[in-house]
Structures are given as C-alpha cells and as structure tokens.
Structure 1
Amino acid sequence: MSPVESPAYLARQPILDSHQGIFAYELLFRDSPDNKTALIRNGVRETAQVLENVLNNFGLSRLVGNHKAFINCSREMLLDNIFSPLDSDRFVLEILESVDADDTVVSVVKKYHERGYEFALDDVIFDAENLKRLEPFFPYVKYVKLDLIENSAEALKAAVPYFKERGMVLLAEKVETEEDFTARLEDGYDLFQGFFFAKPEIVRGKRMDGSLATILRLLQFLRGDPSLADIEKTFLEHPAVAKALVQYANSQKTFRRRPVESIQDAIAWLSVPHIQDWLMLLLYAQPEMGGSTQGKPLFQNVSQRARFLEALADVLDPDGCLPAQAFITGIVSRMDALVKAPMPTILEDLDVDKEITSALLHGSGKLGTLLALAEAVENDREERIGTLMKRLSLSNKDLTASLNAAYGWNHG
C-alpha cells in the first residue's frame, strides 16, 4: 500500500457505559478484508503515513465525535513509537493479548503513560497464569477488557474486585444479549462492547403506527430521484406529513419576506436532501421509537448502516432502484430493536417491497448479501467481509468510499 492510499476499510464499534450511552469507539483498521492482523504492520514511516492518512481522510471528530478512540497496538507498533503524534486526550492504546510484558515493552508503555496516554488490556483471560504474565502492565493500565465468550461467568464475576482494587475500569466485550448486559452490570462492570442492543426483548403482537409506514415509503420514494411534480403529488397523498413539512419550512430562519403556504412552496424552498433529513428525524420522533432514541448507539448505527448500504448499492446499480431499496433495508433492519416488535409483524405493517422483505427475513438476494456485509463490517469479521465482497464484485476502494459516505451521513 502506498502512503497516499486509504486503507481497505475503517469501521468502529461503540463502547457503552452503564446507561447504554456512548463512552468511546474502538477504531478498526485493516489493509485487506482478508487480513487477520491490524493494518499497522509495516515499517514505522509507512505506518505513520497510513495512520495519518486514515485520520485526515475520515477526520477523528467525524468518526468518534467528542468521545475517546480505542486503537489496537501490537508489540512492533509500541516499540516503533508510532503513536507519538496522536492526541493523548483522545486515544486509548489497547495492548493486544499477543503482547508479552517483557522489560522492553513495559519500559515503552511506562514512557507513554508518563506522557498522559491511557492503556487498555485486550481480551484478558482471568486465570492465575495469564494474570501473572500481564502483571507488569498493571501500573499503567486504566481499562481491562474481558471477553464474555472466553471467560466463565464465575471468572467474570471474580475479576471485578480483583481489578477494581487496582483502580482499573472493567469493560465487558462480546456482549451479545440483554441478559449478558444485565448480568455484567450486576457484577459491577463499568463499560460494555458488543451488539446486545440490537437483540431486544421482543414484545409479541405489537403493531406499528401507520405514520411510520408512510414516512418509510416517502423516504424510499425520495431516494428514487423523482421529479418535483411527483414529489408534490406524493406528499399531497399524505396530508398530515405534508402539513408538517410546510410547518417545518416556515420554522427555518432562511425563509423570509413571506410565509410558506403550500407543499409546493415547501418543496421549492427545501432541497430534496434536506427533506430526507427531516423525514429521518420525523421517523425517529415517532412514539414507537421511545423517548430518547436519538441518544442511543442503535439510532446512530441505523443511520450509518442505511447510508452505507445505499452507497454500496449505488456502485452495483447506479441507475436502478437498488440504492433506494438498500437504504430502507438498512433502516428497517434494526426496527425490531427500536420498537421491540418481531420483524415479520413490522414488515406486514410497513408493506415494503418483496425484495426488502426477503432480505430481512431470509437474507435473500442482493439486498440480503449487502445487509450481511454491513453486519460483517460492524462486527469486524474479516474473512466474511472478503467472501461477501467477492460475491458482490466489490473492491476495497468501493468499501472504503461507502464507509466514508456513511460516516459523513452521521457527522457531516
């Protein structure tokens, strides 16, 4: 990889606090979807250039907002002093489980610590042998990540007083269900990483309000690049939404001299992307979504996933209907988590395209493969990413550009 190229992909995984708010993000860099190691694996100068390019291309604030960024580091990366240019207030250096605490590495960690950097230990197995191996790192470590799959429930519970007595913050990773989250919260864990919030408790038989279906249909309609006349006609078929759009247009400070009186005026004043953004806000303001959806990691994931799928679909079918369908697929794919209703019930109420229904229920078709790719990227499953990209004939460049577009949707 030359210094001017972007990495094959950059993804992020949220790290949540006990209230399920975002505490930080782990940034995941890879130079190939098939690569099982971190992106940073070459010479120190090239590595520095790649990391700098990643941050300049995406922008740290655009990636993580005001939150911290956890980034994996190997022995070579630590010894190469590759992280010196990074802001110690923003980055947490995550020592991989493969790094041994020999005198050389511990000396470097100590120097970084003295300069204000925070450290985390990754994938800690709570047993006597492993703790003895890692103990030289303990004076410099603030966060300890324990894998729920690799540790027993007894070990996970016993780890809490052991590490808290040493002033460390406990982070449970691979938290996949609400039960996992609740159990570790009761144990005393402080932070949580995983997609447990995407697997909600299902409330059987819950129905969706008709306005949700209307908003989704309007969003898909607008993604299809309709004419202004068709937009006006379609909005007039939904008087309540049309009235709300006129009210919204009048609330904008840029509309001066005369009020906006008709849906035609509102469409003329507002660009189509502006109307789409407004519909997204309207969608998540619906009562079914709960009181504080916009502050939840799942809300951000839905927006990013929808835009990511649309961007990928635009590569595959730039002049067809696939991008609009992919966008709606991304939104609806997490609707069961947001409204706590089973997916078949949601799809019945929404009356979406049969291709979208097949993708969401059975993973079928091109939409199903795109959705599987989005899930693989979110979960950092490198081998599956490579397999799905080959199936879709997508390049690393396509993947990077689509992720960049998705981050721009959330932060731009």
Structure 2
Amino acid sequence: MSTSASDATATPALPEGVDDSNLAIIARQAIVNEKREVYGYELFDRSTAHDAHTAASDAALLFNALSYAGAEALVGQKTVFINCTQESLSGGHLELIHPDKVVLEVPTLDENATQADIEARVHIFHALRERGFRLAFNQGLLRRAYASWLPMASYIKLDLQAFPLQDAESLVKFARAYTQAKVVAEKVETAEQFELMRSLGVQYFQGYWFAHPDLVRAQTIRPSQATILQLINLVRQQASTAEIEDLLKKDPTLSFNLLRFINSSGFGLSCEVTSFRHAVMILGLKKLFRWAALLMTTSRTGGSPPAVGQTAVVRGRLMELLSAELLPPEESDNAFVVGVFSLLDVMLGVPLGKALESVALPQPVVDALLHNTGVLAPFLELTKACESGDDAAFARSANALQLTNHQVNWSHLQALTWAENLDTNE
C-alpha cells in the first residue's frame, strides 16, 4: 500500500546477457508478527517497474505471481498482500485466484472525492468479502468520511512515516474500538518504533528494520499473441473441450503456462491437474477466457512460435502416434506430454529438472524426461533418433520397440503435417 520505503526499492541490474523481456520480476517484503516470524508477504511487480500503478499492472502482478514466479517458491503457504487500485477491485482477474490466499490492499480515494464517491464503493467491498477476500486499508480509513468502510477492514496498515509517532496510540485505540481489523505497522525502520507499536498491542509489522524487499526472478516462455487469440476465439465460439485441447497440444508454451497456472497454490485446487483436457474442464470457458486474456496482455507481440516450439510439437505428436500402437490410451496422452515438454530446457534456458519444478506432471512423464526410464523413455529415444539422421540409432531404437521403418516414417510424416497445420488453421 505504501509507495516509499516499503516498495520503492530499485531493481538491481540483471546479469549481462539476460533478456529481461522474458523475466517475471516480483519483489516481496515480509510482514512479521511480534516474534518476528513471517506471517505473509507484500508483493510488488518489478517487471513493469517504470509503469504507473494501474488496474492493468495489478492484474499483471497477480498473473505473474501465479503463472511465472511459482507461488510456492514465492510465498509458500503465507498470506499474500497485493496492492490494488479502485478500478482493479472490479477486475475479472480476481476470479482466477483463491480468495483464501490473498489480502487486497485498498487505497482510500483522493482528496477530490465526494461522500457519494466514498459510499459508492461499499457494495464492491461487500461483494469481495462475500467471495472470501480480505481487505486491508491504510490509516486514511480512520477519517470520519470513511465510517461506512470500517466494517469492511480485515487489516489496517499504519504508515509510521505518515504521522507523528506520538499519534500512534490514538490511532491504534480508534482502530480497535471501531473495527475488527488486525493492525499492521508498516515502514518500521527503528527499534524504538517497533517497541512502541508492540507495546500498543499491534500484531504485525513491516519495514526495513525487519527486511528489505527481495526479488524473485523467473524465466518465462510466452506464447505468440496469434496463438492466444486463436484460443480466445475458440472460447468465445464455445468450442468443444476436444477442440480447445487440440490447440493446447499444438503449442507447448500455451499448454505449459496453463498447467503451471492451474496448479499454482493461488488457484486453490486440492489435487494436481496433469492433463490438458482436465485443465480445460476444471477452468471452464469463462475462467479460461479470463486466463487467456491476461496471458495476451502480458505476452509480447510476435509471429508464429519459434522453431524449437515447432520441434516440440512434432515430438509430442510423433510420440503420441507411436505409443498408440503399443500402449493404453492414457499412456499415449502421457507420451504426447513427454514429447512436447522435452525441449522446455531450451525454451526456458534452464536445466530441464528446474523447468519441470513449476508444473505438475504424471510420474511416467517425469521418469522419461529426467531419468530416461519407464515405459515412455524408449519412445522419446526413438523420436530423437528420427531428428538426428543417425541411421544406427534409429534402427536400434525402432527395433527395441519392435516397430518397422515404415511405421515410424509414416508416423513421423503425419506428425510433421499435423504440426504444420497449426499456422493454416489460425
């Protein structure tokens, strides 16, 4: 909620050669209890550090936190505090997160606001609270004009740089008398400030005296906007699950982002989603549209997917076709995932094991990708041999699966044709 000490930390320079356009950069600052144990984190988006704080930047922060930085690594099971504009409180992006995970920090209105403007916001706060969100306000809430907002507060953040320290006692007493909110002392920069606020019964603290904001960076892979637009059009046309699944299969960056998002802690599922069809069914068309729209706003413009993405699609389809000859249907689905995610290390520029940490996958898929073991590993080996031009490796891999040259070559041709149809189907 603050804009100086707590969240004005400059983003350190990135290492030379790192493409910052592919980085999600999120700063977090700990909120601690009186024992200095971490209670939660306030998040700030550093990917758009030079932009004004807007409804769009609020949506981007939540989206990046859930989709790219890996919510578990970023905040674990702690409470997340997110700054909001008044406009973003009505945003569809809030439908994509689990309310139990997030506290929305709400600003009071500017000095030109009328009493009618203030009262007009109350129904929005009611709706958010009914959905399970908790709201935090700054000390501006304690002014007479905001009396109707007082019951809406789960937290009140007192900015110790915004008022004389001798006023702290009266503010804390007022907050206790007229709200059920927990008080957070923010911008705590000295031991004296901490001891005073603790003696007044304040439960939570935030500021440089405890911790400076630290940065979490995550390399991202973002689909082309043309592909995202195709997904949006399918959803708007209320296409079948099978049609949407087909598009996800054809773009590994799109499917990777979807699985990573839907399995993030912020989404609030109790089970892991490991198939594209399951992901589409869990989200439903409305939320899938919201997700695709947010992905569109955070993706760069560009043409068709890069060559490595095309290769991954071919691998996935080829493995699916080859395994369909020998394995049950569910293993054939897993074979597709193995092929399509086998180049994630190249796409992300990190080791494959690191790339797979942020997405839930069935164990047979992990075994094949990371350990070259299990029922799917020989199919991946054969698929790679088809690309290599190594006749001996090709023959060895095909023989191990008891597949003829004709079977493999025909499947490879079908996979190439299937992948090339992505562009013509747009």
Structures share a fold, TM > 0.5? Answer: no
TM-score range, shorter chain: 0.3 to 0.5
- Structure of larger gyration radius: 2
TM-score (norm 2): 0.41
